Amino acid sequence: MNVLSLEGVSRRRGLGARAVIAVSDVSLALEPGEVVLLQGPSGSGKTTLLALSAGLLTPDTGRVTLAGRPLDTLTPSARRAHRAIAVGFVFQRSALLSRLTARDNIRIMAALAGLPPREGRLETDRLIEELSLERRADHLPSELSGGEEMRVCIARALVHRPALVLADEPTASLDGALGRQVAELLVSTARTRGAAILIATHDQRLESAADRQLRIVDGRLTSGIE
Amino acid sequence: MPRIGATIMLWRSLRGRTLRVAITGAGITLTSLLVLVLTAAHRSLVESVRDYAGQPTIDLWVAPEGTDNLIRSSGLLPSWTDDSIMATPGVAAVGPLVRGFLTVSSATNSGRPLTLMGIGIKPNALGGPPTLRAGRNPTGAEETALDRAAAYRLNVGLDDTVLVNGTPKVVVGLTSGTNLLATQFAFFDLDAVRLSLGMPERYSFVAVQLEPGADRSIVIQRLASRLHHVEIMTRDSFVANNVREVAAGILPVMRLVGLLGITVAAVLVVLLIQGMVEELRGEIAVLLAVGASAGSLGILLPLRAGVLAVAGVAAGSAAARLLALILDRVAPTVALSFAWDDDLRILGIFVAAAVLAAAIPVARLRRLDPLEAFRP
């Protein structure tokens, strides 16, 4: 069963005469554990495609099925709850909660996904260890380096064992070696947990880590089409 | 349980900056202190009126026609009124009183005069001070018992001498429950006050005590048939009239100032929550994107405002009581009387104002697009 499936998905952005097609007739599918790179220039529709995949946007036409559930059949509240369980996010900026420690930034995702507290704590500790964050776990985000912040983001994206991780330009704010290291960490950690990853990026350094590459231009997939 | 865990963590993540929260909390404390002190001052005033007019030994008050309270009255009763009342079956005792404003000064107060509400009483008769804090009631023309706040203002104590309308009198008693804030009670010998006010053959009121078991309504009927052009009031109705009279002066101002105080507190809360929403906008977008519900965030922010209001009013309540203790020692003129139901009512108003105020920025939060989480 596919983790994510988009069938003929289109989505406009804006209203009336100013509306533009952000995503046009896109079909794609991700299998469990698969790492797919979504490449394209700025404004090509990468982020919109991620948002559609997570149910943050609803398609004008077509259907999105996430972890076995067609999103168009779910109420907004059920879609939100399903997203919390099935999707992990890595955003372009660190996007950590500034008032919480690194550990709590990870745990909050486990709690939002409905993991029992003990399980959430264990999984958090496991990821902290796996991502070598032990000495920084009880620090606030403002006290972490850029690389440490991204590692916390990776842990947050994976703590609830989602079926799918959506990463939006995860290496954009990191320099060369660090960017590659973080990307490799994301891919390896997600793979060990069986999560599929859809990475929207400009960064060609990530190509080697991907199972498949898709290219999107003006909202259309131009290569790697299913 | 997981939901509770998520809520607790969301609650912790939605903290405002410490300094901003502290400033808002201090603002709520000060505004609630203002409202609490005003309420306590009003309560003290009402209690003073109740203490005097509602003395349990007095069952009925007889006043000139058209006069229904002690505070503002101008009519007078003829001097035979007390004898006529005393001769009425069912009446056990009477206390004729004269009430008038008198100028009182003392040498230790640099001669600055105070205008006090002078009450002329007969020795050991009804209508004397409700509570003597020290000393005794006046028994002669040269004696007075002053409210202790008046004594403080005049800088006098027991056995000191004050000038009452130019006549020296010795302070023989200090009373409490007799402070009307704007003025205080001073008790004198009945004939001396009548002389000072130039109305030797008149009374202002007559306090009446009934015989045990006497039917009040029957005694009122008897008094009404004997006396003409008078008002005969039960203790409760006389107290109610006096409370109405003192409240008429202070309540509108108190309500206005209280409303302004609550408005200031609400504005502070709006500023705090709006600041939090603006400051945490990106983080809130992330929370919404990863699966937190806008509803729970929309509840937690007003809840934060409510908790802050509770903390602020609790601090205000403690500060008000501390202030009352200090005032009682250093400036008893401002008497404050607290009641927990006042505190609870004010707490409820502040919490409601804070929660409603928080609803304004929260309404804007609902328009926040989770896709903002994707913006660099």
Residue to mutate among B17, B290, B375, with most A CBs inside 10 A, is: B290
**To the nearest whole number, what is the mean pLDDT of chain B?**
88
pLDDT-flagged residues of chain A (< 70): 223-226
- Per CB-CB distance under 8 Å, the chain B contacts of A47 are 371, 374
* Residue B349 and residue B257 share a domain: yes
Look up the CATH architecture of domain A4-223: 3-Layer(aba) Sandwich (3.40)
Task: Name the closest residue on chain B to residue A114, using Cα atoms.
Answer: B2
* Residue B222 and residue B257 share a domain: no
Classify residue B56: in a domain, yes or no.
no
* Residue B191 and residue B264 share a domain: no
Classify residue B127: in a domain, yes or no.
yes
Of B228, B263, B287, which residue sits at a domain end?
B228
At residue B170, the pLDDT reads: 95
Classify residue B287: in a domain, yes or no.
yes
| E strand or H helix that includes residue B257 | helix B235-279
Label residue A182 exposed, middle or buried (CB < 10 Å: 0-12, 13-18, 19+). buried
pLDDT-based confidence at residue B111 (cuts at 50, 70, 90)? low
Residue B185 CB neighbours (<10 A): 25
Answering whether pTM is above 0.90, one says no
Classify residue B84: in a domain, yes or no.
yes
Structure-block tokens of residue B238: 């006389």
Of B196, B228, B260, which residue sits at a domain end?
B228
* Residue B167 and residue B201 share a domain: yes
* Residue B262 and residue B197 share a domain: no
In the predicted structure, residue B2 carries a pLDDT above the cut 70:
no
Asked if the Cβ–Cβ distance from A99 to B13 is below 8 Å, we say yes
At residue B47, the pLDDT reads: 87
What total number of domains does chain B contain?
A: 2
Domain spans, chain A: 4-223
In chain A, % of residues over pLDDT 70: 98
SS3 per residue for B183-236: CEEEEEEHHHHHHHHCCCCEECEEEEEECCCCCHHHHHHHHHHHCCCEEEEEHH
* Residue B82 and residue B8 share a domain: no
At residue A57, the pLDDT reads: 93
| E strand or H helix that includes residue A37 | strand A35-39
At residue B107, the pLDDT reads: 84
Our CA-based measurement puts residue A20 at a distance from the nearest CA of chain B, in whole angstroms, of 17
Max Cα–Cα distance, chain B, nearest Å = 96
Asked if the Cβ–Cβ distance from A115 to B2 is below 8 Å, we say yes
In the predicted structure, residue B246 carries a pLDDT above the cut 60:
yes
Label residue A172 exposed, middle or buried (CB < 10 Å: 0-12, 13-18, 19+). middle
With a cut of 0.95, is the ipTM above it? no
In chain B, % of residues over pLDDT 90: 44
Structural domain of B205 = 66-228
Which runs of E-coded beta strand occur in B316-368? Answer: none
* Residue B76 and residue B152 share a domain: yes
In the predicted structure, residue B1 carries a pLDDT above the cut 60:
no
Of B197, B228, B259, which residue sits at a domain end?
B228
Asked if the Cβ–Cβ distance from B291 to A84 is below 8 Å, we say yes
From CA B374, how far away is CA B324, in angstroms rounded?
A: 56
Classify residue B60: in a domain, yes or no.
no
Amino acid (1-letter code) at residue B141: A
At residue B37, the pLDDT reads: 92
Classify residue B55: in a domain, yes or no.
no
The mean per-residue pLDDT over the stretch B116-125 comes to 89
At residue A225, the pLDDT reads: 46
Out of A51, A80, A111, the one facing B2 most closely (by C-beta) is A111
> Which pLDDT tens digit goes with each residue over B261-315?
889 988 888 888 888 888 888 888 999 999 888 888 888 888 888 999 999 999 9
Helix (H, G, I), strand (E, B) or coil at A89: strand
Residue A192 CB neighbours (<10 A): 11
- Cβ-proximal residues to B276 (8 Å cutoff; 6+ apart), any chain: B14, B15, B16, B20, B301, B304, B361
| E strand or H helix that includes residue A198 | strand A196-201
Classify residue B362: in a domain, yes or no.
yes
Residue B41 CB neighbours (<10 A): 18
> B13 and chain A: CB distance < 8 Å anywhere?
yes
At residue B331, the pLDDT reads: 79
What residue spans of B280-293 are helical by DSSP H?
A: 281-290
